[in-house]
Chains A and B, each alone.
Chain A
Amino acid sequence: MSKIEPHNSALSLSGIQKYYDDHHVLKSVDFSVKPGEVVVLIGPSGSGKSTLLRCCNGLEIAQEGDITIFGQPLVAGGKLIEDRELNRLREDVGMVFQSFNLFPHLSVLENVCVAPLTLKKATRPKAEKLAKELLAKVGLSDKIDAMPGNLSGGQKQRVAIARALAMTPSVLLFDEPTSALDPELVGEVLQVMKMLAKDGMTMIIVTHEMNFARDVADRVVMMDNGTILEEGTPEQIFKSPTHARTQEFLQTVFAA
C-alpha cells in the first residue's frame, strides 16, 4: 500500500450539502486543513460539528460536494468512492469518539493491534511492538493486558488514541474526546493530544475546552446552524469575534 503523496491540503471539503431526510444539516460548507495543522471546531450543540467530522471519513455521506484527502477523492460530486478505496483511505484518517468505542472483548493490547493485524499492515510481532510503543506514549504501559471494562474513562480514551495511531494515519479526527470524562480525567487526555500536536499530527478537534484550543489550535472554526460562521487564529476568535453569535456562544461556554 503506497503512502498517500504529500499535498498542499491534508483535507479539503467544498460545497458540502448534507441532509437528514429534509433536515438541512450542512449548508454549502467549504473547509480545508493543511498538513500539520491543528483545527478546533467550536459551535453550539446541533450546529453540525459531528456531522462535518463524520463526513471527513465517510461515516456520513454528504449528498453534494467534494471531499479530498491529500488530494485523493473521498466524495466526488456527492458520490462516495467505492468501498475498497474508502477502506484504504480510512486507514489514513483516524477517528477518536466521545464514547471511546473500545472493543470490550479485546485486551488493551489487542484493541491497538486488531486493525493492523486484520488489515495485514504488520505481522503480529511488529504490530505488538508498535502497540506497546504507542501505549507507552500515552502512558499506559502497565495496562497492556487489562480489559477495557476495567479502565477509567481517561485511560479508555488514551487507548482509543493509541488504537487510532496504530494505523499510522495522516489525519486524526476528534469528536468531543473529553466530553464524557469526569473533570479530573480531562487533563490526561488533552496532554496526549498536545503531544500529538507537537509531533506535527494533522488534527481536527471538536471540543468545548477553550483553554486547550487557545494553547494548541492553529485555527479555530466557529460553526452555527450548518454553516461555518467564521474562522481565525484562537486570538482572533476568542478576543475579537466578528459575529454576535460567536460572542454569545463563547460567553455561554466560558461562563460554564
Chain B
Amino acid sequence: MSLELDFTPVIEGLPTLLDGTMITIAVTACSLAISLVVGSIIGVIRSNRGTLLCYIFDGYVAVIRGTPLLVQLFIWYYGLPRVGIMLPAFLCGVVGLSLYSSSYVSEIVRGAIQSIDKGQMEASRSLGMSKQQAMRKIIMPQAFVRMLPPLGNETIALIKNSALISLITIHDVMHAGANIISTSYRDLETYIFIACIYFVLTNTATFILRKIEKHKLKAGAI
C-alpha cells in the first residue's frame, strides 16, 4: 500500500476554508464573550450558597454538564422549531455554545471565589464595607487571578467544541472541509489541514492568555 498525499484540492479550497475559519472565530468569539459575562454572573450567584437563585443555577449547570453538547445543539436547532421557535443556525450555534460554556465558566468563577480565604471577607466587613464592596475591591481581584488558567483551558475547549456547529449547518471551517472532501475524497489531507487551523487558533488563544496572566502577576495580584 502506498501513501500519496495530494494537497491540491485543499489549496484550491483555501478561500472557502478561510471563510469557514472566520465563521469559527466569529462563533467562538461571540460565545466566549457571552459565556464570560453570563458565566461570571452565575458563578457569583452560585458562590453565595443558600439562595433560591443559587439552586436554580446549580440545576442549570448539572443539566448542561451532564448532557452532550451535540445533543444540546440539536435540540436548539432541530428540536425548537417543533414548538415554533426557529432560530437562524448561526444564532443557535452561539446560544448553544454560550449556554454550554457558561456553565463551565460559572464553575470556574464560583470555585475561585470560594477558594479565597474567608478571613478576607471578614476583614473587609469589619472595616465597614458592604458585601458588594468587599466582593468588588477585595475578593474578585484576588479570585480573578486564580480564574485565569482554568479560563484559558475553557477557551481552548470552546474553540475545539465549536467544530460541532458544522452539524447544525453552520458554514464553519469543519463544514468547509466536508465540502472539499465530498468532491475530492481527500479526507486525510483536508482533516490534517483543518487540525492545523485549530492548532493555530488554540495556541494563539493560549499565547494571549499567558500574556494577560503575566501582566496580572507583575501587577502584584498574587
Contacts and interface: CB of A to CB of B under 8 A. Distances in A.
Interface of A: 57-59, 83-84, 87-88, 90-91, 93-95, 97, 99, 101-105, 107, 114-115, 118-119, 147, 149, 160, 163-164, 167
11 contacts: A83-B131, A84-B130, A90-B125, A90-B127, A94-B127, A95-B122, A95-B126, A105-B220, A119-B129, A119-B133, A163-B123
A163 B119 CA distance: 15
Interface residues of B, number: 22
B123 A101 contact: yes
A94 B220 contact: no
Contact of B222 (A88, A95, A105, A163): A105
Contacts of A147: 220
Contacts of A114: 137-138
A53 to B, nearest CB: 11
Given A104-B142, A118-B133, A97 B123 contact: yes
B127 A101 contact: no
A101 B120 contact: yes
B126 A57 contact: yes
A105 B142 contact: yes
Contact of A119 (B117, B128, B222): B128
Counting chain B CB atoms within 10 Å of each CB, which of A59, A118, A147, A167 scores highest?
A118
User: Binding site of B, secondary structure by majority: helix, strand, loop or mixed?
Assistant: helix
A79 B126 CA distance: 18
Interface of B: 117, 119-120, 122-131, 133, 137-138, 141-142, 145, 220-222
Nearest to A107: B220
Counting chain B CB atoms within 10 Å of each CB, which of A57, A58, A87, A147 scores highest?
A87
A101 B221 contact: no
A105 B217 CA distance: 10
Nearest to A1: B128
B128 A91 contact: yes
A105 B123 contact: no
Given A97-B119, A105-B222, A115 B128 contact: yes
Contacts of A91: 127-128
Nearest 5 CB-CB pairs, A to B?
Answer: A91-B128, A115-B127, A101-B123, A101-B119, A95-B126
Nearest to B143: A105
Contact of B126 (A94, A99, A104, A107): A94
Given A114-B137, A114-B138, A118-B137, A101 B128 contact: no
